[in-house]
Structure 1
Amino acid sequence: MKEGPDIAQIGALIGDPARANMLTALMSGQALTATELAGAAGITLQTASSHLAKLEAGGFIAQRKQGRHRYFTLADAGVGRLIESLMGFAADRGHLRHRAGPKEPALRKARICYDHLAGDFGVRMLDSLVAGGAIDAADDRLVLTAAGEERLAAFGIDARQLKRSSRRPLCRSCLDWSERRAHLAGTLGKALLYGFIERGWARRSAESRAIAFSPEGERQFLALFPLAQAA
């Protein structure tokens, strides 16, 4: 009898096209109903319920009730990292399910990855923070520096409070499927993305995972995270 983690079971759960589409839809970070997930997967509600039960039993998703409605989300950030990594692996080897279309440039520019910013803007943000000394990326670990805490405080983020309020890592590297490089995850990545949205710099798309920056929001973002420091 073989010992160790059962990756075959995990692969079987993710490998079904309908379940893969559901998990990808939940990468938006939003809680979705079974009906919405059935639409994302292109299947009937009855079939979706069966798939959702398997994903929940496998530890991929969680559900919560609100009144008479049930909503589903990814179980935790670890599931989000796994799906993003698999998407990067597939894209890197040419396993793409669709042709590039109008949504593709928007997704590559800026999108939500579970609860943090990904795409070109996400990679730029991490590169700028590292180059400016706000984050130390030595030994493949991301550590917020004292200078970084001051820089975030000026943006309205209390890094020490983030550390106290969550068991999740403050800074975590997440491989970006479109850029093939790392962007910033963890509670800090989440706080920054939600800060952009609260300031009106960006908004979430209702039709996809794209994050749309306003012209002024993009100007502010590029000024806050310049790449000239990385030269």
Structure 2
Amino acid sequence: MVTVTALARTAALVGDPARAGMLAVLMDGRALTASELARAAGVTPQTASGHLAQLTEAGLLAVARQGRHRYHRLASPAVARMLEGVMAVAAGPGPVPAAPRRGPRDAALREARTCYDHLAGRLAVAMADALVARGAVELEADGGAVTPAGEDFLRGLGVDLAAAARTGPARRRVFCRPCLDWSERRPHIAGTLGAALLATCLDHGWLRRIEGSRAVAVTPGGRLALVRAFGDGLGGPCGDA
């Protein structure tokens, strides 16, 4: 059982602007060095070192050593879900404005981005809507499932459902669940199925990562493939690679 003290301690760790900046830049699933995280947060390496120690001790970050370098990453998908939830609350109540005053980079993040190991943004929500509409996936408030017809459809796209379904005790991952999208305020698909969908899109070259950003871009061939697979709802203002 989580105590009020533990809840307050975690909230305080995330609430610091420098630590929040470090956590946010790791939301794309990468592992970064202390120097890279210091630059992202706009603090000195010495200050960053103290913040990283606190986040690691609290179980929010995990550290891996490779050669002389130490790489920091989010400790688990649960941490990413927590951060995405905070972002949804921080974005404020009510519908997303039709024409928000945002910069180009922010527009790209709203369109399509990585949420730890799965896809988020308008594109991801449109994919979830299409899967539900065709009866391939059933989503409820606390979970989701792939139908037999959905299994055939997803395998046809090249999604490795067998690997995604291996969610045993060691992995402690949910296979399919809705994840509230902070920019669209509607659910996209998370869990190991969401991760498998993102991996398939990247492996096929339908999407490509944008260096230094959580945003991903739709390639010209990917736009055609996604529209053929999921319908016209995916033919929106996705940035071509």
TM exceeding 0.5: yes
What is the identity, as a one-letter code, of the residue corresponding to 2:225?
A: Q
Aligned to 2:66: 66
Identity %: 51
Q: Which segments of 5 or more consecutive residues in structure 1 lack a partner in the other structure?
A: none
Residue 149 of structure 1 corresponds to: 151
What code does the residue aligned with 1:142 have?
G
2:9 aligns to what?
Answer: 9
Contact 1:32 1:73 in 2 (8 A): yes
Alignment RMSD, CA only? 1.9
SS at match of 1:137: strand
Q: 1:200 aligns with which of 192, 196, 205?
A: 205
Structure 2, gaps ≥5 residues long: 95-100, 234-241
Local SS of the residue matching 1:31:
coil
- Written as runs of structure 1 = structure 2, the 5 A alignment for 1:1-231 is 6-93=6-93, 100-138=102-140, 140-164=142-166, 166-226=171-231
CA distances 1:170-202 after superposition (whole Å, capped 9, x unpaired): 112111110001111111111111111111111
1:138: how far off? 4.0
Cα 1:5/1:151, change in 2 over 3 Å = farther
Q: Moved runs in structure 1, 4+ residues, more than 3 A?
A: 2-5
Q: Distance in 1 between matches of 2:63 and 2:28?
A: 15
1:78-110 CA distance string (max 9 Å, x none): 00000001001000249xxxx621101111110
TM-score (norm 2): 0.87
**Distance between the aligned counterparts of 2:191 and 2:157, measured in 1?**
17
Distance 1:3 1:195 in 2: 40
CA distance in 1, matches of 2:232, 2:135: 13
Distance in structure 1 (CA, Å) of the matches to 2:38 and 2:50: 11
- State how far apart, in whole Å, the 1-side matches of 2:208 and 2:127 are: 17
Secondary structure at 2:193 match in 1: helix
Helix, strand or coil for the counterpart of 2:89? helix
Equivalent position amino acid for 2:17 in 1: P
Cα distance between partner residues in 2 of 1:6 and 1:140: 24
Quick check: 2:137–2:146 contact (8 Å CA) kept in 1?
Answer: yes
- Output the TM-score relative to the length of structure 1: 0.91
**Distance of 1:5 and 1:136 partners within structure 2:** 37
- Measure the CA separation in 1 of the matches of 2:201 and 2:88: 25
Q: Would you say the 8 A contact 2:139–2:177 is kept in 1? A: no
Query: How many residues of Structure 1 are paired with residues of Structure 2 in the alignment?
Result: 223
The answer to whether the 8 A contact 2:142-2:177 is kept is no
